[in-house]
Structure 1
Amino acid sequence: MAKVLIIDAAPMLRDFVKEKLSSERVEVETATNRDAYTKMINTLPDLIILNIDKHSSGNPINENIVDFFQKKSRDPNSKTTPIIITGPNLSTEAVAKLVQFGVIKYFKKPIKFDVFFDAIGKQLNGIFSIDTTPCVLDLHLNDNNNVIFIEVAMGLNREKISLLKYKISELINANDLSYPKVILMMTSLSLSFVDGMNLELLFNNILADNRISRKNVKVLSLDSIVSELIEGHPEYEGIEVTKDLSTILNSIVTPKNSSSGANVADVISDNILTATAETQDSESMGMRFATDTETAEELKSEGTTLRVAAVDDDQIVRALIHKAFLSIGAETDLFASGREFVEKVVEKKEKHYDIIILDIFMNDMNGFEVLIKLKENTIATPVIVYSQAIKRDMIVKSLSLGARSYVLKPQKPENIVKKAMEVLNAGKTE
């Protein structure tokens, strides 16, 4: 049986990696910097995974690590043992200097776990099973209300779901949440009975932290399979499933003051309208695959033509969107009204688009009506609503009608492109 020694890793990284490796029949030992050398000579691992962090000196390679490297290089039994390091961003020169100590890979945080485990598997002469189901799984926190937002889209990926329980606990600990509340948003998921096991895994991982009470878990889903699963499991009693985001927010958010609805609007603005971004310094494992984060520049270099439909009655906005997507080689068709778009594209279905940028306030046919037409004609092209509408009901309605994301005007054109790439790349696995 292969052996791996994990040194000085944060609890989330240590526990998640240990769980994954153990499931692959790999023996795992853990150590701190102080007892790392003793553990190494006693266990004689086939691979060492070493975590390093930033220090006030600016150099993450501290004296303890240097001492460990030197002792390792002098020991005939461990001198050639390979090391994989996880840590902050280092210069190419700094990483190159680590090779002399047996370092074969350096992973900058947050780690893309699919590439990480692939590297471990290759080093241990094995191939680890990785679920590559297209899946978006993101976490947000409204710390004023102890509300953790979890968004799941595209599909259910067991690897990301397994990591979720560690991410939740890390979030609770980092923000000292006493009575955390969870809103699970799954409106874009279309499920079948075969997803039952993955759904159970999802709910079990959300409830794994005993600080989360079932009565404080609310689920937004349009799929009857979710509600049937909750109703059929006594251990999930107390979890509420609804199709109305507004109802969930009003029931779970504690108002800051007597102004009714003001705080709920803040929650929506802070957690739904804000582009997803992972905290680079605190996170050790990213919730995305490496291929989820393909950039616009990479897309352009590969010669892939992105097809964009921009539906907005503001000529200046249309021109800015066109120019922004043109910079990455995208083909953008502009529509001056919702009706024009529906008549030329939705009803005739003569042209396919990769993404639609849609305004809400248009005279002849507003954005809501366009979303309804898309749904009626079973057109699943992802839609980003780009609008000045800031009222809670309008935002909730857009998302409920199938919009994948909501971005407030005005934005720099490059931000619209960035959001489009986030939405598109979320479904890629190859």
Structure 2
Amino acid sequence: MLVTIKTEDARLGMFVHAVAGGWMASPFWRRHFVLETAGDLRKLSAAGIAEIVIDLSKGIGPAAAPHRPPFLPAPVADATMAAVPADAAEPHPPSRRRRAPISAEQRAQAVVDASKVIVQAMFDEVRLGRAIDVQALTPVAERIVESVTRDAAAMLNVTRLKTKDEYTYVHSIAVAALLIHFAQTLKLPDEEVSALGLAGLLHDIGKMAVPKALLDKPGKLEPPEMAVLRHHPEKGHALLSAGGGLPAVVLDVCLHHHERCDGRGYPEGLRGDQLSLAARMSSICDVYDAVTSQRPYKRPWSPSEALSRMRSWSGHFDVELLDRFIESIGIHPVGGLVRLQSSRLALVIEGNDREPTQPRVRVFYDIPTRHRITPYDATATVAFDPIHRAECGQRWFGDDWDALEAEILAGPPSPLTPIANVMSKGVLS
């Protein structure tokens, strides 16, 4: 016998047959299950599910409402209580301990946890050969948009924390968050931001057509194995095309997120001018999350190390777009030129794993006076002198930038010297 009850009335031992909003709204992987722990009850409540359908033939039913037999008289107060003041008749209720306010990271973690369940469920359905219910992912993308808009740093930090067992699912959520934040930084329209979030969630759906043993292999893939893996963009594109109703950008990102600007990517070997903005953005976000995540076969790179290496890969990314990405997440790679809040230029000389947005820098140039200053090293903290934005050395110092950069990094502190003698193209303020 099936009975619908309010979620607040759920009890341990109940057999849940269905939840309001359908299976994709459920925080549980199984369609039908028994409520076995207090954590199960908390999951239902946290997911915002108003009602559940329980099966009385397989579990317990609702608790009986307390009632008083109609023939019992109402209790009469003892005569000795008549003289006791009303406020003394009842003991004071115990004071409730105030809960600590929920942090931005906790809010972001809740979004990731709820999204992970739905993404994993959908991916597993695809692996079993079932159709994709794309409509179920739209609310997930919208929740990620809201979380990134509320506190991007918290969301991006949380998505970096993933185990090898959940890498595929959380990687999709992380790429969605990175694409959303990147798109917001580029001031793309809201509908494009949401579509890119959905694209991030589905960009690796083709991996569900790849043998799981290959995806989970702890060592480096052999050439034949890599050839199999490299077909996942095409397989994903075919799966999404068959379902229909998706924005074109979702199909584009799924098919082209492994292309390179020099034409050496896959599956089509397109060059930079043949790739859409969304494809070039997704390539950056996909690689950045992959190399900063714990994988079965490699340690994660720190954000600063990852961005430094990505900047050194000739032909892989759209260079201007990569610089905008670096600016968007506020993590500057070693060797990058930055402008400090004090209107001084500095080179990043060391990353900061605990506070990635506050690296060690070597300050060497004063913008208002347009002079070099005696170099000094400092940590670019909010209290000291935070980084305002990334800068381009060639724009400031022209063709002399490479030599000047090497001198600043390698040489001893130099005296205050006008910069005019090393400039070939003037200073941009």
TM-score by length of 1: 0.26
TM-score by length of 2: 0.26
Larger strand fraction of residues: 1
Larger helix fraction of residues: 2
Structure index of larger Rg = 2
